[in-house]
């Protein structure tokens, strides 16, 4: 095998053979194939695509580059969830303990934020003492004793994906659907979960801007999971408007705890319950009621045990940014649009996110929303509050919020977009 022939095959719209795929993934992981060569292949895949057989083999090769986890020792069925990322997407935080409270084990391997989308691990690290990095033995112990664990993937899990992901991020090939699907599913299959629910976001604040691309990505991932023996379903969900009323790390933790306490914004509660029901059904648990587990406090109990088991203090005060700036409504009427992407970029610029994986984040930074589309607003009332430790960032963040919302005259009819747009199984 040689890498030039592999690149030429895909450049010329050919189908990569199983042997070519196995070789190039292994050789790249070992450093035999250089970054610039894999960049050329990734660009050829972006431009010319892959068929189902190629994507399946590519995913299998990435799984084979590292270890596979096993949860057969657990007494509960396992169910996991993955979101393709959005703004204010804090759903994992209440969802994992909720599903655990209903009888499933939830091994949630999560990531950090990059750009305008937040990262679950960054949010949880705003809780004093909480640890994202666990050994496989520690992860299994937390999962066995609490029912849920949220942590970082170990270095041994699909190392080929870790290396390729970093390369795609700097070569303009992130958008390649075969590479997105294989990246997500190689980690989830190697993780060893018995069932998986995918939350594929659609809209301005999502990776997939239109429902056709989102449906293609979801269908590809469902096929990969099914082919590997993992019961997999996907929900396409709206990300044209931020989820909930917060975008930022500690801000989203606070809102998630409100949901676990039986309150919280209605859209966060609705999507949390929809995903919980899908996860429980996929795990074969038919008689549990996740709405009841939120109401009776059992999901909150799991949350507290899970946070404590990973070194965190569930009663500790969360960080608060030193500076705030309030954005007010310029006119009275009905708020008809609030663009998720603009809010996400604003929160990122305030310090809630990072441009590079090694950049630090501010725990208290972000944006708090005081109105959502459909609400009536009055001129001068607060629309959103910006939080940061570095007030010189306000001007930069405000620039990203220009043109992100519309206010129509009072009495204008407003029709909300459903949160769940489609289901693929």
Catalytic residue IDs? 82, 161, 168, 183, 187
Residue 144 to residue 47: CA distance in whole angstroms:
44
Secondary structure element (H or E) that encloses residue 233, with its range: strand 231-238
Decide: helix, strand or coil at residue 294: helix
* Token representation of residue 81: 């969830």
Q: By the 8 A CB rule, do 99 and 107 touch?
A: no
Residue 351 to residue 360: CA distance in whole angstroms:
8
Secondary structure element (H or E) that encloses residue 335, with its range: strand 333-338
* Token representation of residue 62: 């990435």
Secondary structure element (H or E) that encloses residue 325, with its range: strand 323-328
Cross-strand bridge partners of residue 199: 83, 235
By the 10 Å C-beta count (0-12 exposed, 13-18 middle, 19+ buried), 50 is classed as buried
Q: What are the CB-based long-range contacts (under 8 Å, 24+) for 129-133?
A: 129/311, 129/312, 129/313, 129/316, 130/307, 130/310, 130/311, 130/312, 131/310, 131/311, 131/312, 132/310
Residue 45 has φ and ψ, to the nearest 5°, of -65, -40
């Amino acid at each position: 095998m040689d890498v030039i022939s592999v690149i030429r095959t895909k450049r010329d719209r050919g189908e990569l053979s199983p042997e070519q795929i196995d070789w190039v993934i292994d050789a790249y992981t070992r450093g035999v194939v250089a970054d610039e060569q894999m960049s050329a292949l990734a660009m050829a895949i972006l431009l010319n695509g892959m068929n189902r057989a190629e994507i399946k083999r590519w995913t299998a090769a990435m799984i084979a580059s590292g270890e596979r986890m096993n949860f057969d020792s657990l007494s509960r069925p396992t169910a996991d969830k993955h979101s393709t990322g959005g703004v204010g997407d804090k759903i994992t935080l209440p969802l994992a303990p909720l599903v655990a409270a209903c009888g499933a084990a939830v091994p949630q391997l999560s990531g950090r934020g990059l750009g305008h989308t937040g990262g679950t691990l960054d949010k949880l690290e705003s809780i004093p003492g909480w640890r994202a990095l666990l050994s496989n033995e520690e992860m299994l112990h937390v999962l066995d004793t609490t029912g849920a664990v949220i942590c970082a993937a170990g270095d041994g899990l699909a190392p080929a994906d870790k290396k390729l992901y970093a390369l795609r991020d700097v070569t303009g090939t992130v958008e390649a659907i075969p590479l997105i699907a294989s990246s997500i599913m190689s980690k989830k299959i190697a993780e060893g979960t018995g069932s998986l629910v995918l939350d594929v976001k659609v809209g301005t604040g999502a990776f997939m801007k239109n429902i056709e691309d989102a449906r293609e990505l979801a269908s590809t991932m469902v096929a990969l999971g099914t082919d590997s023996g993992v019961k997999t379903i996907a929900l396409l969900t709206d990300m044209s408007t931020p989820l909930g009323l917060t975008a930022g790390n500690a801000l989203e933790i606070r809102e998630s705890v409100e949901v676990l306490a039986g309150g919280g914004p209605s859209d966060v509660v609705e999507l949390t319950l929809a995903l919980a029901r899908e996860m429980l059904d996929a795990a074969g648990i038919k008689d549990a009621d996740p709405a009841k587990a939120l109401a009776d406090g059992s999901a909150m109990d799991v949350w507290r045990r899970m946070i404590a088991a990973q070194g965190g203090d569930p009663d500790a005060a969360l960080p608060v940014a030193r500076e705030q700036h309030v954005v007010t409504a310029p006119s009275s009427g009905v708020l008809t649009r609030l663009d998720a992407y603009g809010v996400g970029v604003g929160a990122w610029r305030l310090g809630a996110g990072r441009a590079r994986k090694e950049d630090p984040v501010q725990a208290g930074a972000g944006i708090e929303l005081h109105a959502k589309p459909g609400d009536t607003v009055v001129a001068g009332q607060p629309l959103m509050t910006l939080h940061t430790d570095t007030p010189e960032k306000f001007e930069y963040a405000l620039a990203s919020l220009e043109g992100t919302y519309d206010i129509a005259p009072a009495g204008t009819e407003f029709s909300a977009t459903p949160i769940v747009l489609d289901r693929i199984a």
